[in-house]
């Protein structure tokens, strides 16, 4: 790692590293309750350096922040592990298979660039060693800091990380501050292997977004840092895509309370629209069954950065003159060219300004894990299916990104597979392009059976959309849902939606009631207008 740090380069990476420097002239981002620091870290003798490694900086940090290591090692940024308390499923990046790059497990040499620690490249990593915590990745603000893979990888891949500039660790240590959007974004904007690839609502466009892209993060608006909503308590962050609060029934709570949630209602309350009109009164009534995001995020992948919506691993492995290659075939809104084919990953399809899918959601994601056996003849396999219905009091209608992928699986056993993608040996797929050998190695490394017969299967994953909140004037209007054709709620079942749905007798009764009410009002008004003054009194 140190050698990589000291390599000399002059180029800005395309994968988000290094983080851009904080502009000293810009307005400070709002970071939640921890406003107004009481110390200037640039004045601390312990942080003057020089530092040989990132761990040396961490030791200096822990010298003052004595309990932070113990706190931090409980959070998911360190453990990459999460056991769902309701389903008992073992989740977390450390274990799951996804339908982007497929699996981090066994590929930590590459994937653990986004682990908040130093040196995780295999199962020998010591999760109890506080000095391996990477404080700088979340707190440094110079823009000189970056991370490289924890192991060399195949020569064909390692060249991607050559020629990086040296890191001034002392300057980074002295620059520490509350996390900025750029800090969180170095990993969360680039999940899945590139800018906005995975989530659809988290992209580099949010580093300096206008209010029109996100009312909370807009630099010309509230200018929230991520931690303004994802409030931290002992380095445990509010908000999780593993266990979403789909329906917040507590609202703002009492002053000084509710630090452990990142819901709209925790700030805006349970009646967020001012009750100054019949329309707003009705909008507040919608809160019971419609998530705020459904109306206030009419589209995602906005701001000129596209998201991947289809990925086809079946076409990976093609070479030219024995070497892997890539092709650029999509120009996104900000003018940047995106890869539509890579030998190491296959074909991609992008989309921008995407209208979400809508469905009832109770907050519970159910994962197809490496142990889950499924019917290979199924139309598709849901990597992370979700549940919810109109009858469930915990459910509301949520917007989702739908990700479709053709990815490898074990035909003989009907399970997903771990694939050895990153490595220096001859089975690593990224460099040698032998999928069968890569799967055999990926499974064997963790004592898992593999039939030796692989195929490709269609998978779906679902991503609740909750960022890129548009200004209220751009939110959905009534007609966007309450219309017979092209209703946003066309696929939502279990409800009678006026305008979208029609029932002959119900429509007649409703018409009579409305007509009768109007007639009564008109008749009453006419009686009052034309009645002699004495009789009105």
The pLDDT tens digits of the residues spanning 324-347 come to 999 999 999 999 999 999 999 999
In this prediction, residue 442 carries a pLDDT of 98
Mean pLDDT, the chain, whole residue set: 90
In this prediction, residue 4 carries a pLDDT of 36
Global pTM value: 0.88
* CA–CA distance, 525 with 513 (Å, rounded to integer): 18
The encoded tokens of residue 257 equal: 């309370």
> Is pLDDT above 70 for 24?
no
3-state secondary structure of 416: strand
Q: Is 219 exposed, middle or buried (0-12, 13-18, 19+ CB in 10 A)?
A: middle
Residue bearing tokens 């993060």: 217
Three-state SS across 192-230?
A: CCCCCCCCCCCCHHHCCCCCCCCCCCCCCCCCECHHHCC
Three-state SS across 119-169?
A: CCCCCCCCCCCHHHECCHHHHCCCCCCCCCCCCCCCHHHHHHHCCCCCCCH
Q: Which residues of 26-58 are buried (b: 16+ CB within 10 A; e: fewer)?
A: eeebebbeeeeeeeebeebeebebebeebbebb
Going by pLDDT thresholds of 50, 70 and 90, the confidence category of residue 527 is confident
pLDDT digits (tens, 9 = 90+) for 102-136: 999 999 999 999 999 999 999 999 999 999 999 99
* CA–CA distance, 314 with 444 (Å, rounded to integer): 22
Tell me the helices (H) and strands (E) count for the chain, helix number first: 17, 14
Say which residues have a Cβ less than 8 Å from residue 495's Cβ, sequence separation at least 6: 289, 390, 489
In this prediction, residue 507 carries a pLDDT of 78
Return the minimum-mean-pLDDT range out of 143-152, 370-379, 381-390: 143-152
Q: What is the DSSP letter of 501?
A: B
CB 205 within 8 A of CB 189: no
**CA dihedral of 157, 162, 165, 170, whole degrees rounded to 10:** 60
Q: What is the DSSP letter of 474?
A: G
CB 321 within 8 A of CB 486: no
Q: Which H or E run includes 449?
A: none
Three-state SS across 31-53?
A: CCCCCCCCCCHHHCHHHCCCCCC
3-state secondary structure of 91: strand
**Closest among 536, 534, 342, 475 to 421, alpha carbons compared:** 342
In this prediction, residue 28 carries a pLDDT of 79
In this prediction, residue 48 carries a pLDDT of 96
> Is pLDDT above 80 for 31?
no
CB 421 within 8 A of CB 107: yes
pLDDT digits (tens, 9 = 90+) for 177-196: 999 999 999 999 999 999 99
In this prediction, residue 474 carries a pLDDT of 96
Q: For residue 413, what are the CA distances in angstroms to 369, 375, 450?
A: 13, 9, 7
CA 397 to mean position of chain CA atoms:
19
Going by pLDDT thresholds of 50, 70 and 90, the confidence category of residue 164 is confident
The encoded tokens of residue 271 equal: 């009646």
The encoded tokens of residue 120 equal: 């995780």
3-state secondary structure of 344: coil
CB 54 within 8 A of CB 113: no
pLDDT digits (tens, 9 = 90+) for 264-303: 999 999 999 998 888 899 999 999 999 999 999 999 999 9
Q: For residue 119, what are the CA distances in angstroms to 13, 124, 134?
A: 21, 10, 10
* CA–CA distance, 295 with 316 (Å, rounded to integer): 38
Which runs of E-coded beta strand occur in 297-380?
307-312, 326-331, 337-342, 346-351, 357-361, 365-367
Q: What are phi and psi of 520, to 5 degrees?
A: -60, -40
Partners of 406 in the beta sheet? 312, 458
CB 185 within 8 A of CB 137: no
Return the minimum-mean-pLDDT range out of 135-144, 348-357, 492-501, 507-516: 507-516
Residue bearing tokens 């580099």: 204
In this prediction, residue 1 carries a pLDDT of 35
The pLDDT of 422-448, averaged and rounded, is 96
Say which residues have a Cβ less than 8 Å from residue 509's Cβ, sequence separation at least 6: none
Residue bearing tokens 């209220």: 472
* CA–CA distance, 326 with 199 (Å, rounded to integer): 23
């Amino acid at each position: 790692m140190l050698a990589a740090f000291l390599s000399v380069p002059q180029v800005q990476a395309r994968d988000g590293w290094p983080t851009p420097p904080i502009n000293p002239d810009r307005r400070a981002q709002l970071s939640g309750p921890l406003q107004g620091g009481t110390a200037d870290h640039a004045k601390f003798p312990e942080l003057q350096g020089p530092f040989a490694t990132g761990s040396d900086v961490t030791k200096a940090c822990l010298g003052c922040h004595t309990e932070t290591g113990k706190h931090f090692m409980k959070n998911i940024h360190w453990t990459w592990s999460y056991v769902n308390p309701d389903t008992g499923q073992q989740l977390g990046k450390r274990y799951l298979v996804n339908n982007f790059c497929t699996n981090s497990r066994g590929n930590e040499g590459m994937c653990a660039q986004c682990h908040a620690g130093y040196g995780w490249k295999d199962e020998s990593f010591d999760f109890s060693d506080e000095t391996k915590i990477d404080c700088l990745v979340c707190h440094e603000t110079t823009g000189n800091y970056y991370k490289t893979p924890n192991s060399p990888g195949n020569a064909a891949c390692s060249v991607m990380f050559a020629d990086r500039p040296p890191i001034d660790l002392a300057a980074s240590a002295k620059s520490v501050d509350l996390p900025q959007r750029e800090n969180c974004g170095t990993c969360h904007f680039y999940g899945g292997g590139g800018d906005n690839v995975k989530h659809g609502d988290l992209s580099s466009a949010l580093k300096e977004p206008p209010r029109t892209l996100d009312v909370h993060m807009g630099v010309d608006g509230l200018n929230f840092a991520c931690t303004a909503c994802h409030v931290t308590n002992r380095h445990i962050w509010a908000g999780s895509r593993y266990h979403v609060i789909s329906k917040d029934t507590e609202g703002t709570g009492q002053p000084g309370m509710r630090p452990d949630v990142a819901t709209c209602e925790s700030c805006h309350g349970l009646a967020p629209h001012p009750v100054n009109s019949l329309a707003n009164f009705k909008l507040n009534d919608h809160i019971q069954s419609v998530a705020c995001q459904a109306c206030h995020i009419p589209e995602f992948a906005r701001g000129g950065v596209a998201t991947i919506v289809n990925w086809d691993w079946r076409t990976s492995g093609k070479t030219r003159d024995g070497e892997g290659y890539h092709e650029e075939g999509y120009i996104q809104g900000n003018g940047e060219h995106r890869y539509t084919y890579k030998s190491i990953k296959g074909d991609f399809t992008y989309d921008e300004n995407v209208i979400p899918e809508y469905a009832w959601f109770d907050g519970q994601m159910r994962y197809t894990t490496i142990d889950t056996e499924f019917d290979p003849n199924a139309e598709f396999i849901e990597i992370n299916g979700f549940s919810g219905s109109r009858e469930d009091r915990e459910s509301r209608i949520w917007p989702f990104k739908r990700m479709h992928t053709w990815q490898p699986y074990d035909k003989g056993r009907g399970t997903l597979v771990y694939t050895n993608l990153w490595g220096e040996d001859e089975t690593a797929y990224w460099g040698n392009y032998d999928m069968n050998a890569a799967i055999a190695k990926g499974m064997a490394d963790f004592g898992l059976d593999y039939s030796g017969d692989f195929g490709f299967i269609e998978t779906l994953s679902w991503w609740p959309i909750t960022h890129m909140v548009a200004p209220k004037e751009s939110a959905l209007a009534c007609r966007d849902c309450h219309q017979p054709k092209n209703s946003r709620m066309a696929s939502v079942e279990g409800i009678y939606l006026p305008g979208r749905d029609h029932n002959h007798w119900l429509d007649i009764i409703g018409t009579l009631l409305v007509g009768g009410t109007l007639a009564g009002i008109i008749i009453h008004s006419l009686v009052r207008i034309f009645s002699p003054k004495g009789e009105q009194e």
